Amino acid sequence: MIIIGDFEYMDEEQVIESFRDLLKPKYNSGDFGDYSRMDSIEFSAIMGWLNENNFVVREFSNAIQRKMSLESFGSDTIRSYIQSKNPGLSKVAWSDRRALIDTLTIERKYGDSSFVVEDGIDDIMKEIAMGTGSFDGQSKENKLANLNNCVEYLLKDKKSLEKLKVISSMIS
């Protein structure tokens, strides 16, 4: 259970699903309506949570970090993006906005300096060099994050630079 402000979600997937649903244009009484005040409050809370948990929208890499408002992101940014992909388009249909929002890639960033390496550096390096252990079964993003953190760690410690040279020669 994830609690964000006054809102509850079962898991990260539901948070992301709600994020998408809030971005989509609304349909009210035969006309498309604006975002409600509650929509804006929930969206703002989700944006803060996504930012704290290192999520990004791949197509709009800095939208979460900037904590864009619902109106700005859902209307202006989405519309401008669709128009940039379709030169000469003066109006953007609500259905086009919904289609884009449904396909947004919302993912967690990996590889930043706050990423925690659970195993010892030596163990990870052995797994990498030998192609064994849990490293081999990890996703590409996690592999890159682990490699990045190992190299960062090794570069910070002068003694570890020698280890890096040895490991580099093993991989080559």
Q: What is the pLDDT of residue 31?
A: 47
* pTM for the model: 0.60
Range of the domain at 7: 2-108
Residues 129 and 44 both lie in one domain: no
Q: What is the pLDDT of residue 87?
A: 80
Domain-located, residue 114: no
Domain-located, residue 113: no
Joined together, the tokens standing for residue 38 give 């509650």
Q: What is the pLDDT of residue 42?
A: 95
Q: What is the pLDDT of residue 21?
A: 94
Show which of 65, 82, 108 is a domain's final residue: 108
Name 132's Cβ contacts closer than 8 Å, sequence gap at least 6: 126
Domain-located, residue 66: yes
Q: For 104, left (φ over 0), alpha (ψ -120 to 50), or beta?
A: beta
pLDDT in tens, the chain (172 residues): 999 999 999 999 999 999 999 998 876 644 445 788 899 999 999 999 999 998 999 888 888 988 899 988 988 888 888 888 888 878 888 888 899 999 999 988 875 444 444 446 666 666 666 666 666 666 777 677 777 777 776 666 656 566 666 666 666 5
Residues 109-138 as b/e (b if ≥16 CB within 10 A, e otherwise) read bbbeeeeeeeeebeebbbbbeeeeeebeee
Q: What is the pLDDT of residue 104?
A: 92
Residues 154 and 100 both lie in one domain: no
Residues 6 and 80 both lie in one domain: yes
Residues 54 and 101 both lie in one domain: yes
- Domains contained in the chain, number: 2
Residues 81 and 23 both lie in one domain: yes
Residues 17 and 93 both lie in one domain: yes
